[in-house]
Amino acid sequence: MPATLIVGAQWGDEGKGKITDLLAQDADIVARYNGGDNAGHTVVFKGQTFRLHHIPSGILYPGVICILGNGMVINPERLCQELDELASRGVEVSPARLKISGRAHLVLPYHIAMDKAEEAIRAKGAIGTTFRGIGPAYSEKFARRGLRVADMLDKEFPEKVEKALEMANRFLKNVYSSEPLDLSSTVQKQLEYARRLIPYIEDTSWFINEALKEGKRLLCEGAQGTFLDIDHGTYPYVTSSYPTAGGAMVGLGIGPKWVEKVIGVTKAYTTRVGGGPFPTELTDEIGERLAEVGREYGTTTGRRRRTGWLDMVALQYAVMVNGFTELALTKLDVLTGIDPIKVCVAYRLCGMETKRFPLSTASLYHCEPVYIEVPGWKEEISQAKNFEDLPPRAQDYVRLVEELAGVPIKIISVGPEREQVIVR
């Protein structure tokens, strides 16, 4: 069973890109299974920082084939820009190395316009989208009127874009009172992107399954995180796809029989971006310290992330719905110098204590975290190569998270560089 899934165990931004980059050296194929360029994976390699949005982190390994799966929504303009950026820095991204599912849906300029208009209407109830058009693109997908990557192969593709844009412009004008998009230039640009991307289009479900039959090793990379899942997250403050483990099956067209490992990625503390409840959020000097030391600013939007203590109620829920076989703990180094460290082990709701993550987002707003305190450490850990190199208190913190989660921590990140990782 040669497939490994990498899943965010929090509200996204857990450091999945780095973990994918670490494991990609032993993979034959790295595949993205959900989301679009609302994802932002940062990988530091040989002093260079690569910020990837569509393309999996595995692209930095010359022998790895990367796939954009059918569960994604793809912005042709942004993808072409990403290809150009990688090429300018010496990273080859030929059709032999990157394959785009023809079943993935397209994000077009009017989706972005709708995204901005909808958030403006929500006002104080804004979800906090990245304004990348992701939600409107998925909405069209499920309304069965979206355009797919495979439509680029059709000689009638310009007419399809024009028809979709005409409908969208009526909606923008009459519903949102927004300016319509220019028809001619928009269609022409999409045609140019199509010509460039056509060589990359593939039936990726077939390609992946054939590779698995041959014993090739598949690494499945998810975007966002468990609590942004459209079904299992803090709805409506979620994304429009399935970042959870089940999303990998649907988003790549493979069966569960191939899955060997499900790795949940969690920070040593908790962050989230945008609106919605956040029980362990810190708005004091410790929260500010976590944000500054942890460089908690979005790769895609640049927005400051909200920060808080590690929430084990949420993490235990993520373990349950994803079936994690192991965890990767990131940014342990950020906690250095904080003493004591708090960990949320339960919620108090309506005067009663519970360890179950609430069913409704409205209830989560009223949950008060129940904390335990553990001693922190002052020693620098960014150069640690083995678990035994960590200070005893840092080791104890890792063991505590393992015990509460009920899942072993096999990977510990102690800094942003590729080499700053402990593998147990």
- 8 A C-beta contact, residue 305 and residue 297: yes
Give residue for tokens 């982190």: 57
Task: List 72's β-bridge partners, or say none.
Answer: 35
- 332: which DSSP letter? G
Residue of 28, 41, 54, 115 marked active site = 41
Query: What's the 3-state SS for 364-413?
Result: HHCCEEEEEEECCCCCCCCCCCCHHHCCHHHHHHHHHHHHHHCCCEEEEE
d(CA 369, CA 264): 22
Rounded CA-CA distance 321/10 in Å is 12
Q: DSSP string covering 79-141, please?
A: HHHHHHHHHHTT----TTTEEEETTSEEP-HHHHHHHHHHHHHHGGG-----SSSHHHHHHHH
Amino acid at site 61: Y
DSSP summary character for residue 276: S
In the chain, how many H helices and how many E strands?
12, 20
Q: How would you class 149 by CB atoms within 10 Å of its CB: exposed for 0-12, middle for 13-18, buried for 19 or more?
A: buried
- Please count the other Cβ atoms lying within 10 Å of the Cβ belonging to residue 92: 11
> ω into residue 340 within 30 of 0, thus cis?
yes
Asked whether the beta carbons of 226 and 8 are under 8 A apart, the reply is yes
Is residue 311 part of the annotated active site? The answer reads: no
* Residue 414: both structure tokens together: 């102690």
Tell me, yes or no, if 41 is annotated catalytic.
yes
Question: Phi/psi at 311 (nearest 5 deg)?
Answer: -105, 100
User: Which are the catalytic amino acids?
Assistant: 13, 41
